[in-house]
Amino acid sequence: MAAVIGMGLANPPLTLVNTMNAISQKYVIPTLGDTIFIPSPTWWGLTRLGKKYGMGEIVYPEIFQEEMTGGAYFGDQLLDTAVVDSVQPADQLWRFYRQSLAIPITDVILNRGGYLNLVKAKYEIASASFLQKLSRALWGTSPQNTSLDIDSIPSWLQLTTNTIAGINRSTAANAFWKPQANAVLGGTITPGQLEDMYQSTVFGYDEPDILTMTNACYSKFKQNYIPTASSTGIIRFIGEDQDKVAPQGSLRNHFMFNNALVLPDRFNPATQCYLMNSKYMYPVFHEADYFTVDPFIKPSNQRVIVSTMYLTMQLINRSPRMGAAATGAPA
């Protein structure tokens, strides 16, 4: 970065440049402006029912077959009392994440009395940087797509022949561990196409509650519900005072598709949509390592202070059949 002489003022707008550079004050905005980071609404969607914590290994039992030792009988008929082992354990490994921050001590000294606290600002930047890495890991987006990262949403809901949670989906015996078959949209996205996908994941009153897609795809999907010259779109009842409020030419914020909240997520892979049920798929965090922070330490040969944030977590899915993916969505 180039050095700034004095207060960094110039002509124009000043005339007495040297004098003003010696005596003028700068107006420093006392907040950090974000022009880099991207929030992932899916993080909110999967944790809105409360954060789940765990210890030890991540193991959960899965019923993989009906026990057929039952049914109609009569009189003294001999009854089947065979023992059936109908549970398969799903086993996942914890994954570890970190975010470091380093600050020169000389910068801390020179920041004394400033409008923005340097240490606090660096913590805020580090926290936002950490969230970016976790958001990419949730979707398996490079560089957070290595074997050290958590099991991603596409790994759970799009792939059908992979091994996940220790269960190989490529074998017919483990068909219970697969999501619904991928829907193929063919470059369009209509309520009819997604209704077929949605109903494939519905079991009684248990329905998916999150539908994700890219922002560009969300824009095209939303147009199905907005009145145009060639379609009526949806009918909205604003209420008795509708003549007193400004008309709305579109849907405000997000909207529901059946029981699923439609979320445009910029981390969502292009040309793909995902239906998920947050009662079964959600992040689980290790109780002993939930955003723990090391105290600042100083290396012996540098006048720098260093701290690191840590998190241990995994993305689990207790019932993959409750979700589905679609390919060929509009880009």
The DSSP-derived string for 47-78 is: HTT--EEE-S-EEEEEE-S---S-----TTPP
Residue with the bigger pLDDT between 18 and 163: it is 163
Q: What is the mean pLDDT of residues 21-39?
A: 87
DSSP 149: S
Rg, the chain, Cα only: 27
DSSP 169: T
The answer on pLDDT for 23 being more than 90 is no
pLDDT band at 1 (very low <50, low <70, confident <90, very high): very low
Beta strands in the chain (DSSP E): 52-54, 58-63, 87-92, 95-104, 163-164, 167-168, 183-184, 210-213, 256-257, 260-264, 272-276, 281-286, 292-293, 304-317, 324-327
Q: Identify the pLDDT of residue 244.
A: 66
The answer on pLDDT for 229 being more than 70 is no
Task: Assign 186 to helix, strand or coil.
Answer: coil
Residue with the bigger pLDDT between 84 and 243: it is 84
pLDDT > 70 fraction of the chain, expressed in percent and rounded: 90
CATH fold of the domain at 41-62+89-227+253-327: phage-related protein like fold (3.90.1690)
- Best CA proximity match to 152, nearest among 291, 329, 328, 325: 325
The answer on pLDDT for 248 being more than 70 is no
- Best CA proximity match to 42, nearest among 124, 125, 123, 140: 140
Q: Is 257 exposed, middle or buried (0-12, 13-18, 19+ CB in 10 A)?
A: middle
Alpha helices by DSSP H, listed for the chain, are 17-23, 41-47, 105-110, 118-139, 153-157, 191-200, 215-222
Q: How far is Cα of residue 96 from the mean position of the Cα atoms in its chain? A: 17
- Best CA proximity match to 88, nearest among 168, 198, 145, 15: 168
Among the ranges given (76-90, 98-112, 227-241), the one the predictor scored with the smallest mean pLDDT: 227-241
Q: Identify the pLDDT of residue 100.
A: 96
Tokens of 238: 């604003």
Domain ranges of the chain: 41-62+89-227+253-327
Q: Is the dihedral of CA 197, 198, 203, 206 positive or negative?
A: positive
Q: Identify the pLDDT of residue 161.
A: 96
55-71 confidence digits (pLDDT tens)? 889 999 999 999 999 99
Phi, psi (deg, nearest 5) at residue 278: -70, -5
Cα distances (Å, whole numbers) of residue 104 to 113, 118, 306: 17, 10, 9
> What whole-number distance in Å separates Cα of residue 30 and Cα of residue 8?
19
pLDDT band at 304 (very low <50, low <70, confident <90, very high): very high
> What whole-number distance in Å separates Cα of residue 267 and Cα of residue 134?
11
Look-up of token digits 């793909």:
272
Q: Identify the pLDDT of residue 254.
A: 77
Mean pLDDT for all residues in the chain: 90
Residue 325: other Cβ atoms inside 10 A: 25
Cα distances (Å, whole numbers) of residue 68 to 73, 175, 176: 13, 18, 17
Cα distances (Å, whole numbers) of residue 153 to 46, 119, 205: 11, 35, 23
> What whole-number distance in Å separates Cα of residue 255 and Cα of residue 260?
9
Residue type (1 letter), 255: F
